[in-house]
Structure 1
């Protein structure tokens, strides 16, 4: 087996479907099936069975998949160390990023970093906060970008702090909210708790929920069309948005904020691409705070 075989095993195991795995690997199903058969012959084992719900790996197949994962990780670490010995900043930077930050901020950051270090490639996974945090704990990513407060035993940099904001198409008063239609959206449970706590501190009746959409960008577009109001971090605000904004405060009058942080392991600063990205993010934080 070689690196291509390790990747094949990982992809088939992840997809549990040979056709889908072949599509993701940009190869044909017969070619992929043939290669799996060759691996079975090489080790004289049965790798997997095909069932109604997709493929199921045998005990020997599971062991070989684990071996493939370990070998890919070892090769990746070796490549990173070899590249780090050179004079150029290069390699593949693995990022795990909160979806909201990835949508509104990440493209500009990666573009600027790529212009400075063109030989650094990016492998980016986006997801909800719990998935992002798990990826950094499991060392699947060099750097995680998370929203809200998180306990992390190594290095953490807060890069943005945003106001939690009531957004509406026309000027309104906070006292009118209980009688208005609210547009809800799927978001991090911690952010939902912050908003719910603020509501309970200010109103005795629950909000009138007119619709529940998949994400905050869709909610914002509903608001722009006058279908109700939403409560969201100010990261969603863009220059051309014609929205009325009210920043929320706690019972002491302090602004309620939602922060974004970068998490990483200190030992990874030995890798030039990680070290340079952290420095770049620190500069981004300074520029963002000055805006």
Structure 2
């Protein structure tokens, strides 16, 4: 078994489908089937079986899939450690970032970091903060940039705070919001909970949801056309939007905030490329504040 075999098992276990696995690994399906048969011959046990939807794993196959995941993690850790032993900062930095941060700020961070460390390459995974946390927990990324207050046993750095705001085409009185069309958009559960907590603090009745949209950018365009109001993070707004923007507060006068955190495991933080990135982004955010 070599690295390609471990990658094959890992992908097949993820997709449970020969065609999709072959596409992801850029190999032909007959070649994939042949390699699977060779594995069963090598171990002299049945590892896989056909199902109506694709491929299933026997108990022995399930164990082999666990080994594949562990082996791939070990291989990556070995590569990281070898690069760490070099005098200059180089290698691949694996980053997980929330979608909003990745869209509005991460490109500037990576451009600046690259100017200081041109031998570093980047692998970036974006998604909701909960998804980024899962990538961190599985060690598939070195660092995670999340926009919620998660408990984390490793290194945790506060990058910044931003105030949530109401946006609309024209000025709105907060007291009239339950009567106005509210435009919601698909986002992380932590942001939804934050907005809901603020709403419950201000109103007894629920918002009048006019639209439930899949993307924030679509929601903002709807607001620009006067179809309703939305509650959004400040990171996503600029003067170019030409919208009425009102920062939001709780009844006690405290601002409605959302924090951005940088998380890394203690093991990953020991790597030179990760340590330099953590120091750089923390300094970059401090200078930007």
Q: Which range moves more in the overlay, 221-230 or 199-208?
A: 199-208
- Structure 1 residue runs of 5 or longer lacking an equivalent are none
- Structure 2 residue runs of 5 or longer lacking an equivalent are none
Which residue pairs with 2:251 in the alignment?
251
Number of residue pairs aligned between Structure 1 and Structure 2: 289
Q: Deviations over 1:43-95 (max 9, x none)?
A: 22222112112210112222222222222211211111111111221222222
1:104 and 2:104 are equivalent in the alignment = yes
Q: Which range moves more in the overlay, 88-97 or 176-185?
A: 88-97
Query: Which SS does the other structure have where 1:103 is aligned?
Result: helix
1:48 and 2:48 are equivalent in the alignment = yes
Q: Deviations over 1:205-229 (max 9, x none)?
A: 3211101011322211211222111
Q: Which range moves more in the overlay, 135-144 or 150-159?
A: 135-144
- Judged with a 3 Å threshold, the aligned counterparts in structure 2 of structure 1 residues 197 and 217 are, in CA distance, closer, same or farther, namely same
Query: Which SS does the other structure have where 1:240 is aligned?
Result: helix
- Judged with a 3 Å threshold, the aligned counterparts in structure 2 of structure 1 residues 23 and 208 are, in CA distance, closer, same or farther, namely same
Which residue pairs with 1:262 in the alignment?
262
Q: Is the contact between residue 89 and residue 117 of structure 2 (CA under 8 Å) also seen in structure 1?
A: yes
1:93 and 2:93 are equivalent in the alignment = yes
Which residue pairs with 2:141 in the alignment?
141
Which residue pairs with 1:169 in the alignment?
169
Q: Deviations over 1:112-131 (max 9, x none)?
A: 32333233222322232223
Mapped partners of 1:103, 1:268: distance in 2: 24
- Judged with a 3 Å threshold, the aligned counterparts in structure 2 of structure 1 residues 84 and 182 are, in CA distance, closer, same or farther, namely same
Q: Is the contact between residue 217 and residue 236 of structure 1 (CA under 8 Å) also seen in structure 2?
A: no
Following superposition, the deviation at residue 239 of structure 1 comes to 4.6
TM-score (norm 2): 0.93
Mapped partners of 1:7, 1:122: distance in 2: 20
Q: Deviations over 1:182-216 (max 9, x none)?
A: 10112223322222222223223321110101132
Q: Deviations over 1:268-288 (max 9, x none)?
A: 332111001101111221122
Mapped partners of 2:279, 2:90: distance in 1: 15
Which residue pairs with 2:76 in the alignment?
76
Q: Which range moves more in the overlay, 156-165 or 125-134?
A: 125-134
Query: Which SS does the other structure have where 1:123 is aligned?
Result: strand
Which residue pairs with 2:284 in the alignment?
284
Mapped partners of 2:194, 2:80: distance in 1: 40
Q: Is the contact between residue 202 and residue 250 of structure 2 (CA under 8 Å) also seen in structure 1?
A: no
TM-score (norm 1): 0.92
Following superposition, the deviation at residue 261 of structure 1 comes to 0.4
Which residue pairs with 1:233 in the alignment?
233
Which residue pairs with 2:273 in the alignment?
273
Which residue pairs with 1:154 in the alignment?
154
4+ runs deviating over 4 angstroms:
none
Query: Which SS does the other structure have where 2:172 is aligned?
Result: coil
Q: Is the contact between residue 73 and residue 139 of structure 2 (CA under 8 Å) also seen in structure 1?
A: no
